[in-house]
Structure 1
Amino acid sequence: MRTELVSEPGDPGRPNEDFASVGLPASGQGGSLVVLDGVTPPEDGGGCLHSVPWFTARLGGALTELTVSLPDVPLAELLSRALTRTADSHAATCDLSHPRTPQATVVLARWSPGSVEYLVLSDSALLVESTDGTATALLDDRLALLPRSALATDALVDATVRNREGGFFTAAADPSVAARAVTGTLPRDGVRALAALTDGAARWVERFHEGDWADCLALLRAEGPRSLVHRVRALERADADRLPPRRGKTHDDATVVYVELPPSPPPA
């Protein structure tokens, strides 16, 4: 089994707001991956005393534990439990009703001898390579489908589309958001590899159009996640001086988890 994980901050002078982990149970039967992309807070801190890395570390740590220790509980329920646990840890000190309370995008995948489960919430990506070589991107595209006019300012986003019907959802303090995630289950014997990417790494496809998702998976298989992130950084540097400037950060935190699953065991 091959697993590789790379996470690099967009700015070396700022903490990385992403979180990534791979969990492999002691039983040797299956495993899980967790990738979170923390949402950069406003200058006023979003009503919370804690940083986004504090939040993603706690939410990601809870998800890593729960996806391994509770293999029979659906991923959406585990996300709900992890959000409740994380919210409880700072509800007494922070305003969790603030629209920019610490929050993150979520990608979860869990595999067993019989199945591969997945959950995607907001604009990170999960790529699945089938045993026949087909690549499929499992995405929550609600943010991408919004008109640019709805995203004109952070204040407009917070007031009209963030964690609202008709807009998009992220994992913040409300555990009910777990029911909004894109979820599903695939037959284990049809999956060869998985790759989870925050949008800072997915820029290779979505922003710079260097290839499609199948090309991205092929690059990860051949050269590994670090090569993909280094290519994104080179593209960002080349793009920085172009006019007009693009909306968004020049460099973003970039995280990739790549897992090649071993052949599924034959039926007993």
Structure 2
Amino acid sequence: MQVRSASTASPGHPENEDLVFRFGPLVGVLDGATVPDGFDTGCVHGPVWYVRQLAARLGLAQAARPTAALTSHLAAAILGVRADHGGGCDLDHPGTPSATVCLLRDGGDRADYLVLCDSPLVLDTGDRVSVVSDDRLEVALAELRAVPATVPTGCVDDPVSGFRRAVTAQRERMNRTPGYWVAAGEPEAAYQAVTGTVPLRGPGAVRRAALLSDGASCAVEQFGLFGWDGLLDLVGTAGPGALIERVRAAERDHPERLRRHKRADDASVVLCEFDGGAVAATDPGA
């Protein structure tokens, strides 16, 4: 498995709340949830700390049990990060640090994957491009948008108070059914992920895979710059950074197409290329 990656912070922001990593056969993209200004989290740690701790714990889980299910790895990692918090954080708070997860593991003749929340995985078999996604967050947000906002009698509604109500309502649906699931303080979220196995040899073998944070997948999902096959072709020929450059241009030129409260977002891309099971030497931190 040959791996190339790129990850950049949102323009004007000093910290990248995404993280890409590789630990031997395991590669991943984590996207930490940005905390809007003025919202409490019950925690002294932020999303940057959380994604770094979660990645480190995933690496330890993979090293300890190389063939265990990815759901077990993620559950162990979430439990490990709970301990890393120490005793001063309220991990049951609805704003506790959280992250989306996209994982792919090379098993020689097959690859295992795990997708939790809105960081999709794109798979190319040569004859077909498919997408593994978890759309429960988008469904939850659509349901919330369909419910008319209730403003207390005598109060004047405004964009700020409306945004606060929307964030509060979204938090109430996190890590529950019906609702959506992310990696946070509850290991049960790992077992709610979308998982599967794909062949790396023989008929239908995957030859390319892209792991994306939503700050990169928006090239297709929000901006419609190209299809998923076009995304893979761009990343394969010009590199992962080229996709992020296209997204940055689209964010500047077409902000009305964004479905986020931010004008831009951190963006991460990992491209995995498979060649009959051959393993190329790569930087473990790629």
TM-score normalized by structure 1? Answer: 0.89
How many Å apart are 1:3 and its aligned residue?
1.7
1:100-148 per-residue CA deviation (whole Å, 9 max, x = no partner) reads 1000000011012121000000000111111x34211111111222353
**Greater relative CO, 1 or 2 (CA 8 Å, sep 6+):** 2
Comparing 9-18 with 87-96, which one deviates more in the overlay? Answer: 9-18
Q: Gaps spanning 5+ residues in structure 2: where?
A: 146-164, 279-286
Q: How does 1:112-261 map to 2 (within 5 A)?
A: 112-130=107-125, 132-146=126-140, 148-150=142-144, 153-159=166-172, 161-189=173-201, 190-240=205-255, 247-261=260-274
Distance 1:6 1:36 in 2: 13
| Change beyond 3 A, Cα 1:245–1:194 | closer
Percent identity between the two aligned chains: 35
| Corresponding position of 2:7 | 7
Superposed CA offset, 1:72-103 (max 9, x none): 11000000000000011114010101011000
What amino acid maps onto 1:4 in structure 2?
R
Question: CA 1:66/1:135 → structure 2, altered by over 3 Å: closer, same or farther?
Answer: same
> Over aligned residues, Cα RMSD in angstroms?
1.8
Question: Any stretches of 5+ residues in structure 1 without a counterpart?
Answer: 25-30
Task: Find the counterpart in structure 2 of residue 28 from structure 1.
Answer: none
CA contact (8 A) 1:67 1:110 kept: no
Per the alignment, residue 50 of structure 2 pairs with: 55
Cα distance per residue 1:197-236 (max 9 Å; x no partner): 0000011000001111111111111111100000000000
DSSP-derived class of the 1:191 partner: coil
What letter matches 1:94 in structure 2?
A: C
Decide whether the 8 Å contact of 1:33 with 1:64 is kept in 2. no
Q: Distance in 1 between matches of 2:5 and 2:272?
A: 9
Contact kept in structure 1, 2:141 and 2:170, CA below 8 Å: no
Using a 3 Å threshold, how does the CA distance of structure 1 residues 245 and 54 change in structure 2: closer, same or farther?
closer
Tell me the residue number matched to 2:149: none
Question: Structure 1 residues 98 and 208 mapped into 2: Cα distance closer, same or farther (>3 Å)?
Answer: same
